[in-house]
Amino acid sequence: MAQDSLSDRVLVNGTIVSATLTADGKLSWTEGFHRTLTLENEVLGFAVDANKIRIRAVIEEESRIWCGGRTGGLMRKDFVFEPLSQESRRLWCQKLREYLDSLGMFSKMLSKFICLFRFMLCRMFVFYFCEGRPKSLFIFLNPFGGKKTASKIFLDNVKPLLEDADIQFTLEETTRQLYAKDVAKGLDLSKYDGIVCVSGDGILVEVVNGLLEREDWRVAIKMPLGVIPAGTGNGMVKSLLDSVGEPCKAYNATLAIIRGHKRSLDVATILQGETKFYSVLMLAWGLVADIDIESEKYRWMGSTRIDFYALQRILCLRQYNGRVSFVPATGFEDYGEPTSYNGKSINEKNVGDPSQEQPSKARQYGYQGTDVSLENLGWRTINGPFVSVWLHNVPWGGEDTMAAPDAKFSDGYLDLILIRDCPKLDLLKLMTQLSNGGHIKSKYVQYLKVKAFILEPGTCTHDPTREGIIDSDGEVLARGKGTYLCDQKTLMAYDKLQITLDQEDILQG
């Protein structure tokens, strides 16, 4: 880090004042009142204009509303210094550049060992990037997600901040489903310090799956990923920002990326036959999946379609036959009944949709997980019927849905939320508590942490000709008979599937 401090007289707004840059990165001066900027957290970058140095910063709003709109208490602001000599200007530029550059170099040196260790546990860096400011980013923008405002969000909030921070970027708009996955599989990662998704959760999930299907996945998994909320759910970025007390806004997410903060994240592998899907957010079957996917028919209603269809589904409640098996975390061994591992058939045959072309080459060379026997673990089982089965990797499923309040980003566990039988009025009350996590206190909810999980989905109890939907990270993994758009192809069949975090995590307990 920069060791030398600098103190000199400069011209600010026509007045000569004394300004100081300390070794720990604090820039201070007196301009009618004493002001201090912290380079690491408040200064994005600087530019030289003739004899003037323009400091580009982000500070607390001096007014709650400013000409650029509301930004969650933060605003961009330039501070202009004019050194009194060319030598002074050169020295100021040198010291500012040295310190800002050191924020990247020093922290990246510290995080190198962490990256090498984390990929062995199938954990990816998300959102806050490797400790150290990125210099070059590859940005995916989904113009079709959510309210179709991603382009405006990028132009109004993201691009100006990146330019102020002198971060180079390549912008790529997605044009179809799985576009981001295909690009991520072939992207030259050596050109970039990170990948950013201006979207909802779907594009992030595509990028994760693309990186883990690469032949060089061990290198690819070290690539930090960032998310800027511009979709419908935004569960991942909500979870990340909420964990540090920040509002779920594009402005705050962009600043966190620029500042170079990081979080590691568990990645779950969903397996059925030879087909794999890598999940970072959640898996749902039953009520939550039905609401999430079937409400698409009411997309014209906007975000209110979720509440509308949730009420409809509760009034006409479905229950599904089936069974779940799991390896409980320490402290949750009393849930369910003892059983043996029953996932052998999942691995031995390909039970996926036979009409689907299996991406064998990508699967061969991509991440496969460690070869550890699951038979020796302490499995438990719970039989249905079920109203809802919900498995979560992070606390928030959407900006207004705290599905798993006890979930952690990289604890090696998934949080399982089960509802087996619940009166409709109690279920309605329970659903209204999703915004604060209060639903897990209901006597009708079983909430536990698991290390591995097997789902065996069945038919509706009231109509044996109708099956359900399995949804992961907002995408349909499987559609059973009689479901909404059941004629559409899916990645997996409506059949038994297995979910694990990296098996090295499982053994660590």
Neighbours of 374 (CB within 10 A): 18
- Active-site residue flag, 201: yes
Using CA atoms, how far residue 307 sits from 89, 312, 313, in Å, is: 59, 9, 10
Q: What string of DSSP letters covers 461-501?
A: SS-TT---EEEETTEEEEE-TTSTTTTS--SS-SS-EEEES
296 contacts 403 by C-beta, under 8 angstroms: no
464 contacts 479 by C-beta, under 8 angstroms: no
467 contacts 285 by C-beta, under 8 angstroms: no
And the tokens for 316?
């006409």
Neighbours of 423 (CB within 10 A): 11
Residue 96 CA to residue 94 CA, distance in Å, equals 6
Residue 480 CA to residue 385 CA, distance in Å, equals 16
The torsion region of residue 334 among left (phi > 0), alpha (psi -120 to 50) and beta comes to alpha
Contact partners, residue 462, CB within 8 Å, separation at least 6: 318, 319
Residue 225 pairs with which residues in a beta bridge?
126, 195
Q: Which of 201, 266, 290, 292 is catalytic?
A: 201
And the tokens for 11?
């011209």
Neighbours of 85 (CB within 10 A): 11
Residue 75 pairs with which residues in a beta bridge?
59
Give the count of alpha carbons within 13 A of 350, CB side only: 13
Task: Collapse the DSSP code of 78 into the 3-class scheme (helix H, G, I; strand E, B; otherwise coil) and give the result.
Answer: strand
Name the residue among 450, 453, 437, 442 with its Cα closest to residue 404.
437
What single-letter amino acid sits at 145? G
Catalytic center residues:
201
